[in-house]
Amino acid sequence: MRVRRALVAVLVAVAAAASAQVAYKRAWPTLAADGLHDPASPALAILQEPSEALSALPPDFAGNLVNWMASLDGGYIKPRSTVLADTRVTLRSTDVLLKRTGELPLVVFPHRQHTAWLDCTNCHDQLFQQKAGGTMINMFLILQGEKCGVCHGAVAFPLTECARCHSVARGSDAEKTFRNLVRE
């Protein structure tokens, strides 16, 4: 029991220290120093540096240190929805409740934020059934890069941001606003 508590304390300390540090200095490595670009590449004099684009966007404490949703909603960026003439853009705002979360708070999946970026076919029906509760999702799959982990942990906010998905306390008033796992 004591070992378990100590472990929890360590995890909390790591998370707190890590987030405190990121919050403290919001800085992006230069392309030449990022470990991926070849410092000898002639492109480095031409390509845009992350700090130039990202420092103007609403801050976050993980990933690119940018709150991408706030950037979109706030009009800081105006990314195009299509480059093809005949593309149909579909938006949706239904929230879905995911209740098999063990001891953690329940998960709310918001369609609004996801359809702002993605097309229905990106998730349905390969990754997720359209019926609420119809897909087996768990953290083992997600941590291996499946289900939500296809994007979260690769490009959307990372898997260290537990509470952004696990956001509704069990038995809370917020839980009662869902009917059959769905809130319009």
Partner 1 sequence: MNPADRYVPRRRPRTRLAVALFAIVAAVLSALAPDAGAEYGDVVINNYSDGAGMRPVVFPHWFHRVRYRCKVCHADLGFQFKAGGNQINMVKIIDGQFCGGCHNGDIAWSVENCNLCHSGKPGTLTQVHESTTSQIASPPARVTAK
User: Looking at 129, 138, 144, 172, which residue binds partner 1 (CB under 8 A)?
Assistant: 144
Tokens encoding 47: 């390509």
**Distance separating alpha carbons of residues 143 and 121, to the nearest angstrom:** 22
Buried b vs exposed e over 30-45: b needs ≥16 C-beta within 10 Å?
ebeeeeeeeeeeeeee
Which 155-184 residues touch partner 1, going by CB under 8 A?
A: 155, 158-160
Measure CA 2 to chain center: 33
Cβ nearer to partner 1, comparing 90 with 177: 90
148 makes contact with partner 1 (CB under 8 A):
no
Between CA 81 and CA 47 the distance in angstroms is 24
61 binds partner 1, rule: CB under 8 A: no
Residue 61 CB neighbour total at 10 angstroms: 16
Per CB under 8 A, does 33 bind partner 1? Answer: yes
Residues that bind partner 1 (CB under 8 A): 5-6, 9-10, 12-14, 16-18, 20-21, 28-29, 31, 33-38, 41-44, 46-48, 50, 53-54, 62-64, 66, 68, 77, 79-84, 87, 89, 116-119, 121-122, 143-145, 149-155, 158-160
